Structure 1
Amino acid sequence: MLPLTQIAALRTTVDDEWRSPVADAVGRAWDIPAGGLRYWRSSAAHVFVVPPGGDARGVLYARFAPAGSASGAHLQRGAQLHDRLTDAGAPVAELVRSCAGRAVELIHTPLGEMAACVVKRVDGEELDVDGLDAGAAAAWGAALAEFHRTAGEVVPPSAPPPRNPFAVLARHMTDPDLAAAAQELAMHWGPESGPLVVGHGDFELDNLRWSAGRPTSFDLDEAGVMPAAADMSAAVRDLLGPRPAAPLHPELLAAFVDGYRRTAGHAVTLDALLLHRAAFAAQQLAEASDVMDRGPDGEGWLSDLVAGLNRHYAEQRDIVVATAEGRKPPTMLPG
């Protein structure tokens, strides 16, 4: 998630028609005329869209983030993987190369240098949990396994063991219950949670479009080397729900896991999914202070965003605490 100061700075450049000189600077590298890109949203990156009829190439999404930031680094890494997957024939959104023939560009804008890429809109059906059945859930799991296979094997020198996210969280928490939960879970964290893969990082339903029973994915900003269980747990957050140990949709979760197993050739346990779901929550909580680096200051849209983020972080806290409680040995009563 981009820091609020960066989102607010970008929003000050957006006019009543949702245009921005920052987006115009990005668009020039793809021969998109000034004013052609309209503001869509800001989350992991700023996203602007060329609406239908605005470009002969179709509906285009320009995504950019400050080049020197973690978000910018993630975008560049994701765009490079996206480019490689496109060459391998993987079902990913069509990446639009810049006028210079590159998948990602570093561009000087009124807000500094931005890392940017452009993709075409993916046509197809957007499924949500309510529209999912066991067959689609199994196809979803199989598609993630296929993504891992197409992305290629992890080269050991480029894949250091993941940091212990619970230890990181415990060092930065003033909330005693959350710190204790993080310390408890830190003792269970280790490299034994399954094979490392080049993962998507956010293979949720809202980052997929379906056609003929198969999904096409986009938004690879969170892609990178990770345990397979971590990528799976990020994908099925909506199936696990706010108390992952008691999943909201156990039958769909089982179908997803089975679809992954049949395609990947190895199983991932519910225990591993729960630990990685809590790890994802811990990572977000550890980064919260960097994201929430300013208050709303009377801006209505910013007040809504801050309120939404506060609710989100409260949910992540509850997941970490509940997961730790589920892993503590039962207390023996005296006598």
Structure 2
Amino acid sequence: MLPLTEIAALRTTVDDEWRSPVADAVGRAWDIPAGGLRYWRSSAAHVFVVPPGGDARGVLYARFAPAGSASGARLQRGSQLHDRLHDAGAPVAELVRSRAGRAVELVQTPLGEMAACVVRRVNGEELDVDGLDAGAAAAWGAALAEFHQAAGRVQPGRQEQADVFDRLVSHSDQDLADQHLADQELADAAQALNRLDKRLEPGPLVMGHGDFELDNLRWSQGKATCFDLDESGVMPAAADVASAVRDLIGTCPGSPERPELLEAFLAGYGRESGLTVDMGELLLHRAALAAQRILEAATVLDADASLLEAIGNGWLKELNGSLAGYYANQRDIVLAAARVLA
């Protein structure tokens, strides 16, 4: 997630028709005329869209983030994998090459240098958890296994969630020392999960998508095409499964919210990959993902009271509150996982 101050800075450049000189600067690298890109949203990256009829190449989504930031680095890494997978015939959305022939560009804008890519819209059906049945959940699991197979074999390397519980213990201890926060409960849970994690064999490593949720997939004739690979990287297969099914697990790891759909997903993944994901392993990786989000919270929630209360920033204050609630839920997941597993 981009820091709130970064999102607010971008929003100040957006006019009443959702145009921005920042997006125009990005668009020039893809020969998109000024005003052709319209603001869509900001989350892991800023996203602008060329609406239907606005470009002969179809509906296009420009995604960009500050080049020197963690978000920018993830966008560059994900776009490079995305481009490689598409060239290999994997079921991923098509990235549009810039006029220089590149899949990802570094572009100077009024808000500084941005890492940017442009992706074509994927035609197909968007599913959600409420509309799933067991067959669709199994197909979803199989689609993740197919992604892992298409990404190819990987060499062991630095993993995104490596030592995350260790880092959360240190983070909690620092908070306690610096801000007198009474969150010893979180520190104790992280310590217990860290001990368990050290004993766990990591299992097969894959080049994972990192966010294979349904909103990053479009379905056609029972097959999924994916996009938004910013969270991709080398990880245990079970960690990528845990990221994909977090809505099926919910906030109470000991009692999954959608047990039948979760079982079907795991069965579909297992049939296609030949791997069995143990429930304990799955829940530990789900907790690790929650811990990773907690560690990012202070960077994201960086807007001070004067910015949140400024005239016209009601949307920012609402987003701040929503994200604070989200991070509180991630804390609850870590605590619940420790109670169930440790």
Common fold by TM > 0.5: yes
Aligned partner of 2:168 in structure 1 is: 169
Which structure 1 residue ranges, 4+ long, deviate > 6 Å from structure 2? Answer: none
> How far apart, CA to CA, are the structure 1 residues paired with 2:125 and 2:3?
32
> How far apart, CA to CA, are the structure 2 residues paired with 1:114 and 1:275?
35
Aligned partner of 1:248 in structure 2 is: 257
Aligned partner of 1:332 in structure 2 is: none
2:327 equivalent to 1:313? yes
> How far apart, CA to CA, are the structure 2 residues paired with 1:276 and 1:160?
12
Aligned partners of 1:90 and 1:150 also within 8 Å: yes
Could you report, residue by residue, the CA deviation over 1:220-246 in whole angstroms, capped at 9, with x for unpaired residues?
A: 110111111110000001100111221
2:187 equivalent to 1:179? yes
TM-score for the superposition, normalised by structure 2: 0.93
Query: SS at the partner of 1:118?
Result: strand
Amino acid at match of 1:176: Q
Query: SS at the partner of 1:96?
Result: coil
> How far apart, CA to CA, are the structure 1 residues paired with 2:160 and 2:28?
40
1:67 deviates by 0.5
Q: Unpaired segments of 5 or more residues in structure 2?
A: 177-182
Could you report, residue by residue, the CA deviation over 1:70-90 in whole angstroms, capped at 9, with x for unpaired residues?
A: 100000000000001101111
Query: SS at the partner of 1:187?
Result: helix
Aligned partners of 2:209 and 2:233 also within 8 Å: yes
Amino acid at match of 2:319: L
Amino acid at match of 2:288: A
Amino acid at match of 1:112: G
2:197 equivalent to 1:198? no
Q: Unpaired segments of 5 or more residues in structure 1?
A: 329-335
Amino acid at match of 1:46: H
2:120 equivalent to 1:129? no
Aligned partners of 1:193 and 1:272 also within 8 Å: no
Aligned partners of 2:161 and 2:289 also within 8 Å: no
> How far apart, CA to CA, are the structure 2 residues paired with 1:26 and 1:56?
18
1:160 deviates by 6.0
> How far apart, CA to CA, are the structure 2 residues paired with 1:143 and 1:118?
24
1:266 deviates by 1.3
Amino acid at match of 2:185: D
Amino acid at match of 2:76: Q
Aligned partner of 2:197 in structure 1 is: 189
Amino acid at match of 2:237: A
2:271 equivalent to 1:272? no
1:162 deviates by 4.9
Aligned partners of 1:194 and 1:268 also within 8 Å: no
1:265 deviates by 1.0
Could you report, residue by residue, the CA deviation over 1:85-123 in whole angstroms, capped at 9, with x for unpaired residues?
A: 101111111110100110000000011110000001111
Aligned partner of 1:43 in structure 2 is: 43
> How far apart, CA to CA, are the structure 1 residues paired with 2:159 and 2:186?
27
Query: SS at the partner of 2:332?
Result: helix
TM-score for the superposition, normalised by structure 1: 0.95
> How far apart, CA to CA, are the structure 2 residues paired with 1:155 and 1:176?
37
1:214 deviates by 1.0
Aligned partner of 1:331 in structure 2 is: none
Instruction: Give 1:288's match in structure 2, choosing from 277, 282, 297.
Output: 297
1:161 deviates by 8.8
